[in-house]
Structure 1
Amino acid sequence: MKKKVIIIVLLIVFLLFFERFYFFVLKQIYPLKFSESISKYSSEIGVDPYLICAIIKSESNFNQYAVSRKGAVGLMQLSPSTAKWIAQKLKTEYVEDSLYNPDYNIRLGSWYIKYLIDYYSGDTKLAVAAYNAGMTNVNKWLSIRKRSTIEITEIPFKETNYFVKRVFKSYEMYKKLYPKAFKNTDY
């Protein structure tokens, strides 16, 4: 009997330690940086901050100096031409070097994903696909299928299919790992 109690106590201690270790490891894989900027602009623009975290994680892994092979820049990997268009819509100055600035990049990227969500009538899956593949491609996929939405498995671009899956996996992880990181998440 005494041996069973000791084993149970050790098992409980191990599980408690393992759970802390597990969350520690997950927070290394899913870091939360620039949370003040994410909170500020997601609230100002009206987009879910956890979605912004997930896009940043998937696009740049929170590296503000990231540049893709196609020339997309910064945390949210905005192409200079898209960023310039967004800046015009926001009536703000466009400075390409500012794309490396977390505040500027998050502001423009948050506005853009919100624009896409609104354009696709709240279909976040389509908005995320368009964020990666462009609206022209997503609209073509919808036109071919003669529908207003598609399933992730129907996305014909392998990279975009993977990107959308990765964003939504990251989204769930950020909500689970950082449940109190943001005040208003009713989007």
Structure 2
Amino acid sequence: MGKAMKTEKGRRAIGAVKNTVIVVCLATVIISATFFAVRSILKAEFPMKYQDKISLYAETYGVPEDLLYGVIHTESGYDEKAKSHAGAIGLTQITPETFLWLQTKTGETLPEEALYDADTSVKYCAVFYGLLLKEFGGDEKTAIAAYHAGRGQVNAWLRDPDISPDGKTLVNIPESETKKYVEKVQRAVSIYDKLYKKELNKI
């Protein structure tokens, strides 16, 4: 009788262990499936379009690839024909005035319609960010703010000790639209970095 009870208890214990293992395995499968599903959704929302162009110009002008992807995703959602109410054009939403100024740095003479061309748009975004990163000591947040609000405005903020105690970086951004823009780009950059870490050249 005693042996029979012990045997039954042993069987129950083994059964409980098996059930636990099955539950753990099922949970692992569900978690893995959920992870890959979420990752697939994010990759669809944050694609690596124009990869050859972005890689080329990021390396040429010393700009992190994830930054260019984040800017394009935020500015136009990869719409080559995008045009804002302010007249900014193309994938990277560069204004004709900024385009003219940037061409004084590259030595090219192109019409503003060239900004609808993906290659030109990506190239001049990289040119611009290369200059901004150099001007602002490599600080991405400050460079992103300058891309949106303008170099003059950002330099004015840097002279305000309440906004920039060190005169080099922005502790806070007083203009709400630019602040939201910077946060949006930084979020996109972070997502690209996490999704495509192995593929991206960080510079």
After TM superposition, the score normalised by the length of structure 2 is 0.85
1:27 counterpart = 2:43: yes
2:169 to 149, 154, 163: 149
1:176 counterpart = 2:194: yes
Which residue does the alignment assign to 1:123?
A: 139
For residues 10-159 of structure 1, the aligned pairs below 5 Å read: 10-145=26-161, 147-151=167-171, 154-159=172-177
Which amino acid counterpart does residue 174 of structure 1 have in structure 2? Y
CA distance in 2, matches of 1:80, 1:181: 32
CA distance in 2, matches of 1:148, 1:3: 60
Which amino acid counterpart does residue 63 of structure 1 have in structure 2? D
User: CA RMSD for the aligned pairs?
Assistant: 1.3
Task: Answer yes or no: is the 8 Å Cα contact 1:65–1:100 preserved in 2.
Answer: yes
Task: Answer yes or no: is the 8 Å Cα contact 1:88–1:94 preserved in 2.
Answer: no
Give the aligned length.
183
* CA shift for structure 1 position 81: 0.9
Which amino acid counterpart does residue 158 of structure 1 have in structure 2? S
CA distance in 2, matches of 1:158, 1:71: 21
Which amino acid counterpart does residue 43 of structure 1 have in structure 2? E
Task: Answer yes or no: is the 8 Å Cα contact 1:63–1:75 preserved in 2.
Answer: yes
CA distance in 2, matches of 1:69, 1:24: 33
Which residue does the alignment assign to 1:164?
A: 182
Work out the percentage of aligned pairs sharing the same amino acid. 33
CA distance in 1, matches of 2:105, 2:43: 35
CA distance in 2, matches of 1:135, 1:181: 31
* CA shift for structure 1 position 13: 1.1
After TM superposition, the score normalised by the length of structure 1 is 0.92
Task: Answer yes or no: is the 8 Å Cα contact 1:35–1:181 preserved in 2.
Answer: no
Where does structure 1 lack aligned partners over 5 or more consecutive residues?
Answer: none
Structure of higher CA gyration radius: 2
